């Protein structure tokens, strides 16, 4: 072989090696769109934006994640629909939206006053989430991280303390969940099914008079300026997760996926810690601008607990799948027996 042929062979071999290396490091991946109801500019939104930037860097610019916050792409049911047709590839959803994919997620959120402490929320979540992740995966979605925003509280136009006070008001309930509306109505509450985006207009027009929300979201949407009374009762945790279409996620090389997941888990931990801290901070901030907080006595809290537990037989198997409901209650009893509440 002549010297020129050897040189040509080496150049071609190096070119082939370079092309192969480039293909491995700059894989083809579609631009990803992520939807969330978290308002623009909030700590939740900022954590997601930081995560998106980390994803871009860790993937060498191949993963371009665009965040659409504040319900810009519609309510959670609409976002799930968009993901199912690949118009949206990811979303940070509450259990309301996640239940559009897998109803078992309701066991983490839709058992009113079932959880007494955030420690119980953690204990049950850590043990129930693997099962839920498996079920979501079978339906084409990968859970990247789980979060919660602390407790849902009732905000109302008028003072509420006893269950009968709330029964006199028109109560917001998330649309797309007729079983929850029926449940409220069976307990004597006048539930109105609306999208999240309709909460503030609904309070303004009188379509609703009360709404269950985490304090942070109530403050961000200025719900307290229209519903200036809050019942300081831990009704239920607001639980959520970041999910990505499985088909989209698996297009990313495994080594890169692991780096992206690590960055996402850190973002989820930050969102959860911040959300729980801002729960109390938000109440304090709203009190400064006029929010009136009603703190129920143990006897009044017992009234609410009795109402809640009276509808558990209707929740089991209808709002929450029976197997998940039973496992949630078993885990709660186990947690309390171990003194980990």
> Do 128 and 214 contact (CB within 8 A), yes or no?
no
| 307 vs 61: CA distance, rounded Å | 53
| 101 vs 140: CA distance, rounded Å | 9
| 140 vs 75: CA distance, rounded Å | 20
Q: Where are the domains of the chain?
A: 28-337
Give the chain's radius of gyration (CA, Å). Answer: 24
pLDDT digits (tens, 9 = 90+) for 2-59: 444 334 333 444 344 333 343 444 445 558 999 999 999 999 999 999 999 999 999 9
> Which two structure tokens, joined as six digits, stand for 165?
């006070």
pLDDT of 10: 39
| 183 vs 39: CA distance, rounded Å | 29
| 233 vs 151: CA distance, rounded Å | 8
pLDDT of 4: 44
CATH 3.40.190.170 fits 28-337, yes or no: yes
pLDDT of 27: 46
Pairing of strands 65-68, 32-36: parallel
pLDDT digits (tens, 9 = 90+) for 297-333: 999 999 999 999 999 999 999 999 999 999 999 999 9
Residue 176 CA to chain centroid, in angstroms? Answer: 16
For the segment 71-77, the average pLDDT, to the nearest whole number, is 92
For the segment 274-284, the average pLDDT, to the nearest whole number, is 94
Of residues 13 and 270, which shows the higher confidence score? 270
| 238 vs 212: CA distance, rounded Å | 10
* Helix-then-strand count for the chain, H and E: 14, 9
In this prediction the pTM is 0.87
pLDDT of 217: 92
pLDDT digits (tens, 9 = 90+) for 174-219: 887 788 899 999 999 999 999 888 999 999 999 999 999 999 999 9
Considering Cα of 289, then 297, then 170, then 184, what sign does the dihedral take? positive
Closest CA to 234 of 296, 160, 299, 320: 296
pLDDT of 178: 86
Res 128 pLDDT > 70: yes
pLDDT digits (tens, 9 = 90+) for 134-181: 999 999 999 999 999 899 999 999 999 999 999 999 999 988 778 889
Pairing of strands 90-94, 32-36: parallel
Closest CA to 54 of 261, 248, 252: 261
CB-based contacts of 249, cutoff 8 Å, min separation 6: 142, 257
In order, the DSSP letters of 63-109 are --EEEE-TTTT-SHHHHHHHHHTTS--EEEEEHHHHTTT-GGGGGGT
């Amino acid at each position: 072989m002549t010297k020129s042929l050897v040189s040509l062979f080496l150049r071609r071999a190096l070119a082939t090696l370079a092309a192969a290396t480039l293909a491995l490091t700059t894989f083809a991946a579609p631009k990803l769109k992520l939807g969330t109801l978290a308002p623009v500019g909030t700590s939740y939104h900022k954590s997601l934006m930081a995560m998106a930037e980390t994803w871009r860097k860790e993937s060498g610019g191949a993963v371009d994640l665009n965040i659409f916050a504040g319900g810009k792409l519609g309510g959670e049911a609409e976002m799930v629909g968009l993901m199912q047709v690949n118009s949206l590839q990811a979303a940070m959803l509450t259990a309301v939206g996640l239940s559009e994919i897998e109803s078992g997620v309701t066991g983490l959120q839709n058992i009113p006053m079932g959880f007494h402490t955030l420690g119980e929320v953690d204990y049950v979540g850590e043990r129930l989430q693997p099962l839920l992740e498996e079920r979501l995966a079978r339906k084409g979605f990968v859970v990247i991280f789980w979060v919660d925003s602390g407790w849902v509280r009732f905000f109302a136009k008028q003072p509420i303390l006893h269950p009968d006070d709330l029964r006199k008001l028109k109560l917001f309930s998330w649309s797309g969940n007729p079983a929850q509306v029926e449940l409220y109505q069976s307990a004597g509450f006048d539930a109105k099914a609306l999208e999240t985006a309709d909460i503030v207009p609904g309070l303004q027009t009188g379509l609703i008079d009360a709404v269950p929300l985490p304090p942070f979201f109530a403050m961000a949407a200025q719900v307290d300026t229209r519903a200036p009374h809050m019942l300081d009762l831990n009704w239920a945790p607001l639980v959520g997760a970041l999910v990505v279409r499985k088909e989209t996620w698996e297009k990313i090389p495994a080594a890169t996926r692991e780096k992206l997941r690590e960055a996402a888990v850190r973002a989820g931990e930050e969102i959860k810690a911040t959300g729980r801290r801002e729960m109390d901070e938000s109440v304090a901030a709203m009190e400064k601008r006029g929010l009136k907080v009603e703190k129920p006595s143990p006897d009044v809290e017992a009234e609410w607990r009795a109402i809640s537990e009276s509808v558990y037989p209707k929740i089991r198997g209808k709002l929450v799948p029976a197997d998940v409901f039973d496992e949630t209650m078993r885990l709660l009893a186990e947690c309390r027996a171990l003194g980990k509440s």
